[in-house]
Amino acid sequence: MLDNRLIGLVLALAGVIVAPLLLPVANATELLIFALVAASANLLIGWSGLYSFGQAALFGIGGYAGGYLLANTDLALLLPVVFGGLVAAVFAVAMGAMCVRRVGIYFIMLTFAFNQLVYYIAYSWRDVTGGEDGLFGIERPGALLPGLPEIDLNVPINFYILVAVIVGLCFLALLRVVDSPLGQILLAAKDNPRRAGSVGYDIHAAQTLAFAISGFFSGIAGVLYGMVYWIMPIDAVHWLTSGYIVFMVLVGGTSSMFGPLIGATIFILLQDFFSTLWARWPLLFGAVIIAVVMFLRGGVIELVSHVRGFAARRRAMRGEAGNA
Amino acid sequence: MPEAVLQAERLTKQFGAHTAVSDVSFAVAPGELLSIIGPNGAGKTTLFNLLTKDLTPSAGRIVLEGQDVTALKPHRISRLGVGRSYQITSVFQNLTVAENVWVAAYRHRHGGRFDFLRRRRAYAQLDPVVGRILENAGLESYAGMRASELSYGHQRMLEIAITLATEPRLILLDEPTSGLSQEDTRQVGEMVRRLAEQHTVVMIEHKMSVVMSISHRLIVMNFGEVIAEGEPEDVARNPEVRKAYFGTAAGV
């Protein structure tokens, strides 16, 4: 297990280094941000069995809350980033506490309803969110914390490195969460909620906490997203974005926190790269989803275990041949 | 007389027009092994579901060591020391055997705290606890296996091991030998007998060989009602019980 994780981290780091060389830097930055949202969504989908179609609401609330501060105050950068995460976490508690009381399709519909609620609030509350036009004037303050020397974050690669560090730390924190007792309890509750209750766990409370943690990291991603193009677009809170996030998680694979990183990469390649080559690129989305559902139920990350299983069998066969 | 560990007072459960459990009252004394028997559909499992609050009673009260727990949720009842195993094996299929027990042991030893800052490995003091429980259940060599890969008999043992890992004061066992071979039945029966030396146990069971040999007292249910209660020999002679079981009052 541990060496798998080490390999995953090394590969992820290599991806972070290579991405800005292959993609426009802004797109590479988006990739990291969506990777964080998708990983935080996987705490709900993969670990809790909660197929939330409301992740964009958490992403958007964080983006608006942090973006509002970045547009209207001179606070050092990390304060609005953390603020956005906290506001999203508080909302996630309210949303989670209600939604986890229903299961299956009713849960999905509730998260969807919350997403639309947030969308229409963003749409109508023009003074704060900019409504349909999006929240303009988001800055990238040079100081990370009050008193620290300034960095010129308007240089794209500097901003990219900053986002890489923040996303990296958040991802490590998510790995710790799934490694913790809470991670184990969530898996148990997903597997058999009645039994988890009968050994004494309040599973609604555990799942609400998962929502809060997921919301915190999605909110942070939202603030970073607002800084990429200096605007928080209303599309970011649309349910379609929630659908894209679920796409990233399922295509990448829910069984590991590294799956959503792969899914986000595929998504960004389709959206930002193939869209410039081919106007009908959404067709590729469909093709990818069909391919994964039909042939790779566990997502692209399953390929890794297939390959490893194959290699292990080959080794075993050679070993037997050697002994014979 | 010492205070009852568990007291059911006039428990009733209605599903629409159907009354699954009707006006059932009984008390469980400390250290007792009480068996509940009765034909299929008599309401025994429904009664258990009421006691653990997996179902909400339509009427009646549940008192646990003097405390009225009728309004509590299942996880609160569990935390008061009531452990339960299920008739249809209810383990965590996708967790390993050791993780199944770990989840229950962590809940008991650490109060079910949702710690998300430390690794599970930080709770190394649980490892010997889990190891001992697995050993007692004869499952130590399957510790790293997924529960879904266990044989049926081993899943039944794991079922009970999970229940024991919460170190309950009162254990409710729902047909612990259901679907087991004769040899496994004998083993599980022996395990329940040993359990009852240190715990208060209420057991639903069909196999008369097990019930008659280890129970201190029996409750017989039919059509949702208690039709007889008493020591095994007395109950066995009760004509109404014979009628419920064999459809006739004549001796068999």
In a domain, B251, yes or no: no
Residue from A195, A203, A211 to probe the interface with B (highest B Cβ count within 10 Å) = A195
Residue from B87, B102, B114 to probe the interface with A (highest A Cβ count within 10 Å) = B114
CB contact under 8 A, A200 and B120: no
In a domain, B146, yes or no: yes
Find chain A residues with C-beta within 8 A of B163's C-beta: 199
**pLDDT-derived band at A324, boundaries 50, 70, 90:** very low
How far apart are the CA of A243 and the nearest CA of chain B, in angstroms?
27
CB contact under 8 A, A181 and B114: yes
> What's chain A's average pLDDT?
92
Q: Measuring CA to CA, how many Å separate A164 from each of A75, A76, A225, B72?
A: 21, 18, 12, 47
Helix (H) or strand (E) segment spanning residue B59: strand B59-64
SS3 of residue B220 by DSSP: strand
If one counts the domains in chain B, the total is 1
Residue A269 exposed, middle or buried by CB count within 10 Å (0-12, 13-18, 19+): middle
What own/partner pairs with CB < 8 Å and gap ≥ 24 does A9-14 have? A11/A258, A12/A171, A12/A258, A12/A261
Helix-helix angle B152-165:B126-136, to 10 degrees: 140
CB distance from A192 to chain B under 8 Å?
yes
CB distance from A197 to chain B under 8 Å?
yes
Nearest to A184 among B74, B103, B117 (CB): B103
In a domain, B190, yes or no: yes
How far apart are the CA of B48 and the nearest CA of chain A, in angstroms?
12
- CA A264 – CA A252 distance, rounded (Å): 7
Nearest to B79 among A181, A200, A206 (CB): A200
CB contact under 8 A, B78 and A200: yes
**pLDDT-derived band at A313, boundaries 50, 70, 90:** confident
CB contact under 8 A, A198 and B117: no
**pLDDT-derived band at A320, boundaries 50, 70, 90:** low
Find chain A residues with C-beta within 8 A of B97's C-beta: none
CB contact under 8 A, B166 and A200: yes
Q: What is the pLDDT of residue A315?
A: 78
Q: Do the beta carbons of residue A244 and residue A270 sit within 8 Å?
A: no
Q: Does the pLDDT value for residue A128 go beyond 50?
A: yes
Q: Does the pLDDT value for residue A129 go beyond 80?
A: yes
- CA A103 – CA B99 distance, rounded (Å): 25
Task: Report chain B's terminal Cα–Cα distance, integer Å.
Answer: 37
**pLDDT-derived band at B236, boundaries 50, 70, 90:** confident
**Mean pLDDT over residues A8-18, rounded?**
95
CB contact under 8 A, A184 and B94: no
**pLDDT-derived band at A197, boundaries 50, 70, 90:** very high
In a domain, B143, yes or no: yes
Q: What is the pLDDT of residue B206?
A: 86
How far apart are the CA of A103 and the nearest CA of chain B, in angstroms?
16
Q: Does the pLDDT value for residue A1 go beyond 80?
A: no
What's the complex ipTM? 0.88
Q: What is the pLDDT of residue B247?
A: 63
Q: Which residues contact A8 (CB under 8 A, 6 or more apart)?
A: A256, A258
In a domain, B240, yes or no: yes
Q: What is the pLDDT of residue B251?
A: 42
Which residue is it, tokens 């020999």? B233
Q: Do the beta carbons of residue B52 and residue B174 sit within 8 Å?
A: no
- CA B162 – CA B182 distance, rounded (Å): 23
Higher per-residue pLDDT: B104 or B39: B104
| DSSP letters spanning B138-196 | T-GGGTTSBGGGS-HHHHHHHHHHHHHHT--SEEEEE-TTTT--HHHHHHHHHHHHHHH
**pLDDT-derived band at A317, boundaries 50, 70, 90:** confident
In a domain, B1, yes or no: no
Alpha helices in chain B (DSSP H): 44-51, 74-79, 97-109, 126-136, 152-165, 182-198, 208-214, 232-237, 239-246
Q: For chain A, how are helix, strand and coil distributed in percent, rounded to 5?
A: 75, 0, 20
**Mean pLDDT over residues A215-222, rounded?**
98
CB contact under 8 A, A199 and B103: yes
Which of A166-175, A310-319, B192-201 shows the highest mean pLDDT?
Answer: A166-175
Least confident range from A38-42, A54-58, B164-168: namely B164-168
Nearest to B118 among A180, A192, A205 (CB): A180
> What's chain B's average pLDDT?
90
**Mean pLDDT over residues A102-118, rounded?**
95
In a domain, B162, yes or no: yes
> Residue B59 sits in which domain range?
6-246
Q: What is the pLDDT of residue B218?
A: 93
- CA A62 – CA A67 distance, rounded (Å): 8
Least confident range from A131-135, A161-165, B100-104: namely A131-135
B66: its two tokens: 């003097």
Residue B19: CATH number of its domain: 3.40.50.300
SS3 of residue B6 by DSSP: strand
Q: Does the pLDDT value for residue B252 go beyond 60?
A: no
CA angle, residues B250, B251, B252, in degrees to nearest 5: 120
Q: Do the beta carbons of residue A224 and residue A31 sit within 8 Å?
A: no
Q: Do the beta carbons of residue B167 and residue B197 sit within 8 Å?
A: no
Q: Does the pLDDT value for residue B1 go beyond 80?
A: no
**pLDDT-derived band at A220, boundaries 50, 70, 90:** very high
**Mean pLDDT over residues B7-24, rounded?**
93
**pLDDT-derived band at A321, boundaries 50, 70, 90:** low
**Mean pLDDT over residues A31-51, rounded?**
97
CB distance from B45 to chain A under 8 Å?
no
In a domain, B212, yes or no: yes
Q: What is the pLDDT of residue B235?
A: 87
CB distance from B116 to chain A under 8 Å?
yes
How many CA atoms within 13 Å lie on the side-chain side of A71? 22
How far apart are the CA of B167 and the nearest CA of chain A, in angstroms?
10
Q: What is the pLDDT of residue B249?
A: 46
- A225-251 residue pLDDT tens: 999 999 999 999 999 999 999 999 999
Which residue is it, tokens 């608006």? A64
Q: Does the pLDDT value for residue A54 go beyond 90?
A: yes
